[in-house]
Amino acid sequence: MPLGNSGIGPGLDGSDPARQLQEYVRRGASFSGSEAHVVFNNEKGSFKNVSSITGLDSKDDGRSVCFTDWDLDGDLDIWISNRNGPQIRFFQNSNPSDGHGINIHLSGNSCNRDAIGARVILKVRDNLPQTRTVTAGSGFLAQSSKTLHFGLAKEDVIEEIEILWPNNKAQIISNIVPGNYHIEQGSDPVEFKVRSNEIEKSPNPFQETFNDRTFLSQRLPLVAFFGRPPEAKDKPLLICLTVEDCKICAAQKKEWEVSPPTGVHLQLISESTLALSDPEKLRLIQLIYDHFFDVSEREIPTPISFLIDQKNRLCAIYRGHIDQNLLLEDCINININGSQLRSRSVPFSGIWASKRISSARPLDFVEDLLDADLLDPAANYINKEINSLKEDELFPMLLKRLEALKSDRSTP
C-alpha cells in the first residue's frame, strides 16, 4: 500500500485505520484477542462446555473447522485452520466409546458425480432416524468431507438406509452393518477396508534444524545499506546474521570453518555485537526481512543470510542452515534474468498465467522505511537510487511525504 493509501481514508484524528489494521495483521497479532476456542456438547438438549477436557481450547486465531472420520474408526476427527501459526491443527478423536459409526460416500450417475444435494436417512430400530445431506461447503472457508458420518449407540441396529438422490429418485438399502461404504447411484454398497487406524506420523514433527531459501525474482538494490569490501568486488556477498545461543548458527559457522562457501565473500555478523555497534543497521535488517515476507516486527529466524550480487541487489534470502550445493547453484545463476529468473524463484514447475515479469519497486521499500520512522536511511536510500525512483509516477508524492515527516519531527 504505497503512500499510506489504504483505500478507506484517514480517521477523524488524521489516523489511517486500514493501514493500522494491516500493520496489526503483519505483526501476527490476534484478531480474537487470544480467546480460547470453545466447544459445547449437546446432552439431551442441554449444552455443556467441554472445551478444556477435549483439548480443543487452544488460543489460536481459528478461521475454519472441518469434520471427518480421518482414521475411519467410527468417530469424527477435527481439522482446524488458523490465521496465525500453526496454520493447520489436527485433533484425532481418541475418546473411548462403546458406540460405533457408519461412513457413507456417495457417487452419482444420472445426477452430479459428487452427489451434491443427496440426502441420506438412516433408520435404526427403536430410535429416531438420522438425516445427513451432501453439501459443497460447510462453513467459513471450510469444506468437511463429503463422506457422510452417522454415529450409533452400541445397541442400535440399522433397519434401512434411504438415499434421496438430487434427481428425485429414491434408493433403499437394507441389511447393512456399521462400517465404511461407497455407494454408487443404483448400485449396492461396497465396503472399503482400512489398512490401519493408527496415524503413524505426526502432522507437525519437531525438527532440530531447518533450512529455507527464497531466490528472489524481484531484486531490490541495497547499496545504501551494505558496504561492499574490496575483496568482494567481483563476487557475490553473503551476509549471515547469527545469535550466540543458536545451535544452528554454531553448526553453520563450524561447517564454514572446515569448508568455507565457494564463489562468495562471506560476512558473518553477530546480532549482539551489531545491537551495540550499529542498532540502526539491525533495524534495517529486520525491515528488509519484513518487507519481503510481508510481516512486521516478527522475530527473525536465525541464522538468516542475504545473498547480494555484484550490483548490490538482494538476490536470495536463506533462513536456517544453508546447503552448500544450493548456494553454489544460486551463485552460478545469480545473473540470469527474465523468464529464467522467474522460473527459478519458485520451488516447482508450472505454466505461468501471465507473460508479464514484475520487478522490484524501490518506492515501496522507502515507504516501509518512512512507516518505521527511519527518515535518514530513507533519504539516504533515495539519494542512492534516485534514477530508478524517478521512473515511478508516485515519486513526487513520496518526496512530499518525506518532507512532511521531517517537518513534523522538527516541530516542537
Whether residue 189 is preceded by a cis peptide bond, meaning omega within 30 degrees of 0, is: no
Q: 350 CB contacts (<8 Å, ≥6 apart)?
A: none
pLDDT band at 410 (very low <50, low <70, confident <90, very high): confident
pLDDT band at 10 (very low <50, low <70, confident <90, very high): very low
**380 pLDDT higher than 50:** yes
Kindly state the cell numbers that stand for 153: 449407540
Higher-confidence residue: 320 or 141? 320
Q: Report residue 103: phi and psi, to 5°.
A: -110, 130
User: What is the residue-averaged pLDDT of the chain?
Assistant: 87
Amino acid in the structure at residue 397: M
Kindly state the cell numbers that stand for 392: 515511478
pLDDT reported for residue 20: 76
Contact 117, 166 (CB under 8 A): yes
Identify the structural domains of the chain with CATH numbers, from first to last. Answer: 40-191 (no CATH), 211-345+356-360 (3.40.30.10)
- Which of 33-37, 69-73, 197-201, 377-381 is predicted with the least confidence, judged by mean pLDDT? 197-201
Name the DSSP class of 300. P
pLDDT reported for residue 202: 57
**186 pLDDT higher than 80:** yes
Higher-confidence residue: 193 or 401? 401
**71 pLDDT higher than 90:** no
pLDDT reported for residue 2: 39
pLDDT in tens, 275-319: 999 999 999 999 999 999 888 878 888 999 999 999 999 999 999
pLDDT reported for residue 350: 86
Contact 22, 11 (CB under 8 A): no
The neighbour count for residue 89, using CB atoms within 10 Å, is 18
- Which of 261-270, 344-353, 365-374 is predicted with the least confidence, judged by mean pLDDT? 344-353
pLDDT band at 85 (very low <50, low <70, confident <90, very high): confident
Give mean pLDDT, residues 98-116. 93
Residue 139 backbone class (left: φ over 0; alpha: ψ -120 to 50; beta: rest): left
Give mean pLDDT, residues 345-366. 89
pLDDT band at 209 (very low <50, low <70, confident <90, very high): low
Contact 74, 147 (CB under 8 A): no
**142 pLDDT higher than 60:** yes
**83 pLDDT higher than 90:** no
Question: What percent of the chain has a predicted confidence (pLDDT) above 70?
Answer: 92
Handedness of CA 310, 330, 256, 285 (dihedral sign): positive
pLDDT band at 11 (very low <50, low <70, confident <90, very high): very low
pTM of the model as a whole: 0.67
pLDDT in tens, 329-347: 999 999 999 999 999 999 8
pLDDT reported for residue 198: 61
pLDDT reported for residue 204: 53
